[in-house]
């Protein structure tokens, strides 16, 4: 069964939201602001397609960004990031590995699936 075609501007909005979500996994915070603008403008859109592709990436981006800050806070409290001479400490490397394995990889797979659904016009 073929999915109904969405309006190009709605499909572009959905693709943009999903792409910003995946960009937020690599560069937390800045894409989150752009995704927040999209979310607050389109969260009450009558189209289920737009709402699902705006609300879900917003919530997932908030969770992944919170985990990013939590992991870095734990690394800083454990003794990492103490000076400019010691930016590459064992704590910062462990924090990077933990973020990569526990946040980026599990959050990337649903993001890729949602991006392909947005590109195909499916809610």
pLDDT digits (tens, 9 = 90+) for 93-105: 788 888 899 899 9
In this prediction, residue 40 carries a pLDDT of 94
When divided into structural domains, the chain yields a total of: 1
Question: Which strand (E) or helix (H) includes residue 4?
Answer: none
**How far is the C-alpha of 60 from the C-alpha of 66, rounded, in Å?**
10
Residue 54 located in a structural domain: yes
Is the separation of the CB atoms in 114 and 57 below 8 Å?
yes
Residue 3 located in a structural domain: no
C-beta neighbour count of 29 within 10 angstroms: 11
Residue 60 located in a structural domain: yes
In this prediction, residue 94 carries a pLDDT of 81
In this prediction, residue 3 carries a pLDDT of 56
CA end-to-end span of the chain, whole Å? 14
pLDDT digits (tens, 9 = 90+) for 11-69: 999 999 999 999 999 998 899 999 999 999 998 999 889 999 999 999 999 999 999 99
Residue 86 located in a structural domain: yes
Residue 65 located in a structural domain: yes
Average pLDDT in the chain? 86
In this prediction, residue 85 carries a pLDDT of 59
Q: 27: helix, coil or strand?
A: coil
| Strand residue runs (E) in the chain | none
Tokens (6 digits) for 63: 């969770």
Residue 1 located in a structural domain: no
pLDDT-derived band of residue 1, with 50, 70 and 90 as boundaries?
Answer: very low
Domain that holds residue 51: 8-120
Residue 2 located in a structural domain: no
Q: What does the pLDDT average to over 78-95? A: 68
Q: 29: helix, coil or strand?
A: coil
Residue 57 located in a structural domain: yes
């Amino acid at each position: 069964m073929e999915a109904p075609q969405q309006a190009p501007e709605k499909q572009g909005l959905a693709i943009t939201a999903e792409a910003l979500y995946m960009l937020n996994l690599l560069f937390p915070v800045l894409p989150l602001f752009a995704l927040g603008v999209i979310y607050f403008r389109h969260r009450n859109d009558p189209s289920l397609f737009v709402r699902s592709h705006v609300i879900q990436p917003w919530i997932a981006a908030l969770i992944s960004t919170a985990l990013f800050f939590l992991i870095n806070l734990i690394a800083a409290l454990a003794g990492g990031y103490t000076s400019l001479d010691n930016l590459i400490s064992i704590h910062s490397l462990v924090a990077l590995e933990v973020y990569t394995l526990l946040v980026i990889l599990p959050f990337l797979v649903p993001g890729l699936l949602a991006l392909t659904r947005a590109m195909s016009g499916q809610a």
